[in-house]
Structure 1
Amino acid sequence: MAHSTISIFFFFSLCFFSFYLNAQTTPSKQLQAFIFPIKKDGKTNQYYTNIQFGSNSTKLNVVIDLGGNFLWFNSVDYFNAASSYRPILCGSRKCQIADTDGCILCISDLPVPGCTNNTCSDFALNPFTGTLGFSGLGEDALHVRSARGAHVQYTVDDFPFQYSDPVLRTGLVGLAAGAVGIGRTGISLQAQLASAFKIREKFALCVPPAGGDGNLIVGETAYSIPFEEISKSSLFTTPLVKNPVSISGNEVIGNLTHEYFINVKSIKVGSKTVLSLNKTLLSINKKDGSGGTSIRTVRPYTTLHKSIYKALIKAFVRAAASKNIKRVKSVAPLGACFVLKTVTSSKTGPQVPTIDLVMNKKKGVFWRFYGSNSMVRVSKDVTCLAFVEGGINVSGPTTSIEVGGYQMENHLLEFDVASSKLGFSSSLLLHNTTCSKFGSS
């Protein structure tokens, strides 16, 4: 009897241990989302997260590129321990999914990251400097944390990436080894997690101001209070538009088909529509891909086509003057600056005329920027409008409006890639919260 009892105990212990191991390495049916922390570097205005990559879980800081193709980085720590690295071969299914620009031949004594023969290859783009690097794609283990419960870690064994030339790191925040793309591609972060764990291709983004915390959540999740209520009842929704023109390899621009566009139809300052806009610039030119409105985490401030920028500045200065806000000399690259002491404070930052990007006037769909997202303090006595003229020193077609990171701060953005819809909140300051409190239940 004693022998039988010990056997039964051993059997159930073995079953429990096997279940525990499987729970750490395979996706649960209830697992629906993964979480990545976001920080902002105050000097470069870049937003970055950290990941664990490879068999030894090398920790890497990578800039978040909302329109980026894939994960790319250069790290000696990873290189020296890349025992589980595997090249993605030309003609393979993963290469077809990547939709790359060709193959590369690189013969060495031993295949190493960045130099393998018959390897599927593509261009990596530094979105800040416009530097391009052509190199082979590989795959290795990406370790991710569940956005639910105790943040259990899971592993994607064959996550695609590019080990890039170190020159691509020039211009990145000093902590960053590369960039992670969450654009419209088959090998972007959210696309690969959706494929690996059979979840919806969707992600929520909440970027913080410098000194704060934010999160990127990939997949479906139940948010913590009050974000659950904001998501359910307080989001504006608008279609995500796909630019039909690929500008692959064009410096700084990148591939327009991979970026997220929205249909902005007009702009308001205060309660008045800016009438002097060239409306044709607000639509995407189907021949060359120029025009339209995209959303870019790699732009520190919203950039505007020259004529749109001039019209906005003129309307804003006029509306500010009506509030007795005194204008002073501009501080490049910002074109409209004001005496700080003539601007009062409010719950949503400096009390200045609001700026609305209007998507659907009849349904009341507009993205409103209050002072916390429209004004930036440049000195002890001066504050400036945080919008800049775009398209300067850039070759090729340019997007008319690129909504930058500063305007996204403390807004909840839900990118439902599967259904091509964007959900966005009003300023979280109106809801008595910030991105630093954004997470999951």
Structure 2
Amino acid sequence: MSILSFSVTEAAHNGGFFTVDLIHRDSPKSPFHNPSLTPSQRLNNALQRSFNRVQHFRLWSPQLASADIIPTQGAFLMKISLGTPPVEIMAFADTGSDLIWTQCKPCDECFDQKSPLFNPISSSYKAIPCGSRQCQSLQDTYCVENSCQYDQGYGDSSSTSGDLATETVRLGSTSATGLQVSLPNTIFGCGHENELAFSIAGSGIVGLGGGSVSLISQMGASIGGKFSYCLVSMSAQNTKSSKMIFGGSVPKSPDTFYYLTLEGISVGDKRLNLYNSTTPSNASKDGNIIIDSGTTMTVLPSDLYHRLELAVKNVIKLPTIKDPEELLHLCYSNLADKDIPIIAVHFRGADLKLNPLNTFARTSSSSRCLAFAPDDDLSIYGNMAQMNFLVGYDLQKKTVSFKPTDCRRQ
């Protein structure tokens, strides 16, 4: 079977978009898959990773040189190929960071991975010279013999460092059988010293943030600065992959993170506004909640969360139970969908009505818990709340859009 390749510009002209699989880390298609775990055990592991991720999001600020997140705590992987001839890599897709990188030969200090290390003898590999605009596009670069070097730190004291280079990146498109999308001269990190808790699975990161070296930004005008994803429900992850769509089908952002402005939340007809006398002053700012595909639950300001919890209790007239894993706060035994009220999230410019699959997590065979958590320092709109929505990003207009969608059919 021959594999055809076309450029991202041609892909954009060819129907305006192309699609790739997003593989949940617990999917049978993932190198992290553990077939002995039950669905509720996988969910609880995802929640624990998410709470760890929140701890490190809390450390981030625009003034810090390190990314201060844990990419290995992310939820979704992408297959990409690097070089000529192409070498397939399974890497974490991360909207919270920018740099694309993988482990490279020779590796002075590397973590174990299942796939071979990338060898920079590829005919399309080009080292980036010192003093070039490309070298200056990333923080914490330095020079060794006129070769641009990078040093990327993360919040758990993990790091990657090596050569900043350009290479041909290929994405396997699912929008046209047998086709690959080719992205020549893509800036990436060829890591020779790497410390990350990847075990023997993933090989690197695909940065999808808002900074200049992210995959999205490097695709540039060819996709119109637009991408979207459609996350399948947890119950469908064993048989269906979520999708990431680059380009024109997509219906407030500083570098790296994508922000929305949260105004309130409703339980049935009862609206709970974010702002009141006890709301922290930073919560009223534009861009007060991060949208993140790597965090499972939604994290709200503590005051709003506690009002949400009380409003849900007032509607669900059933005894509460303790979360068996002690991760979430409001839980019920044998809770049916018909007993769960409609919860709506009010963003500036959009009101999203969430279904039970978005708002209650099945933490055991008999228990379901409200998939929200309180935090005094930051707010995150997590991936459970995004499931079965087409979530579109427009970097040029700096907007995020939502469209209810059966993501199994994408």
Q: Same fold (TM over 0.5)?
A: yes
2:189 corresponds to: 162
Q: Displacement, 1:147? A: 6.0
Query: What is aligned with 1:262?
Result: 260
State whether structure 2 residue 169 is matched by structure 1 residue 142: yes
Partner amino acid for 2:398?
S
What is the CA-CA distance between 1:402 and the residue it aligns to? 0.4
In the alignment, structure 1 residue 71 sits paired with structure 2 residue 80: no
Indicate whether 1:272 and 2:270 are aligned.
Answer: yes
Residues 33 and 147 (structure 1), Cα distance of their counterparts in 2 relative to 1, 3 Å cut: farther
Q: Over residues 133-191 of structure 1, what are the superposed CA-to-partner deviations in whole Å (9 max), with x where a residue is unaligned?
A: 45442221101345654452242221111133665431x58532122111111221122
Structure 2 CA distance, aligned partners of 1:386 and 1:26?
A: 38
Contact 1:335 1:384 in 2 (8 A): yes
Tell me if structure 2 keeps the 8 A contact 1:65–1:298.
Answer: yes
Given the superposition, is the C-alpha separation of residues 165 and 410 from structure 1 closer, same or farther in structure 2, using an over 3 Å criterion?
A: farther
Number of the residue aligned with 2:58: none
CA distance in 1, matches of 2:273, 2:314: 14
Evaluate the alpha carbon distance shift between residue 379 and residue 56 of structure 1 in structure 2; reply closer, same or farther with a 3 A threshold: same
Give the structure 1 partner of residue 408 of structure 2: 436
C-alpha separation between the residues in 2 aligned to 1:38 and 1:173? 20
Partner residue, 1:344: 336
Question: Please, which of 347, 359, 362 is the counterpart of residue 359 of structure 1?
Answer: 347
Distance (whole Å) between structure 2 residues aligned to residue 266 and residue 27 of structure 1:
40
In structure 1, what is the equivalent of residue 31 of structure 2?
none
Alignment partners' CA distance in 2, 1:269 and 1:25 = 47
2:328 maps to which residue?
Answer: 334
TM-score where L is the length of structure 2? 0.74
- Identity rate of aligned residues, in percent? 20
* Cross-structure match for 1:199: 223
Per-residue CA deviation, residues 220-265 of structure 1 (Å, 9 max, x unaligned), is 24xxxxxxxxx7xxx6xxxxx134xxxxxxxxxxxxx321111111
Structure 1's unaligned 5+ residue stretches are 1-20, 108-116, 222-230, 236-240, 244-256, 286-290, 392-397
Which residue identity is paired with 1:310?
Answer: H
Instruction: Decide whether aligned partners of structure 1 residues 124 and 219 sit closer, same or farther in structure 2, where only a CA change above 3 A counts.
Output: farther
1:183 matched to 2:209? The reply is yes
Matched residue, 1:297 = 293
The residue aligned with 2:122 is 83
Q: Give 1 or 2 for the bigger CA radius of gyration.
A: 1
Deviations 1:255-298 (A, max 9, x none): xx32111111112122212258527443338xxxxx81110112
The aligned counterpart of 1:3 is none
Unaligned runs of 5+ in 2: 27-41, 47-74, 106-115
With over 3 angstroms needed to count, the CA separation of the structure-2 counterparts of 1:357 and 1:55, relative to structure 1, is same
Amino acid corresponding to residue 355 of structure 1 in structure 2: I
8 A contact 1:122–1:136 mirrored in 2: no
C-alpha change, 1:275 and 1:140, in structure 2 (3 Å) is closer
Distance change >3 Å, CA 123–CA 366, structure 1 → 2 = same
Q: What is the CA distance between 1:375 and its match in structure 2?
A: 0.9
Q: Which moved more, 1:206-215 or 1:415-424?
A: 206-215
**CA RMSD, Structure 1 to Structure 2 (Å):** 3.1
Per the alignment, do residues 94 and 259 of structure 1 end up closer, same or farther by CA in structure 2, a change over 3 Å counting? Answer: same
Q: In the superposition, relative to structure 1, how do residues 174 and 377 fare at CA in structure 2: closer, same or farther (>3 Å)? A: farther
C-alpha separation in 2, matches of 1:344 and 1:204: 31
Scaled by the length of structure 1, the TM-score of the pair is 0.69
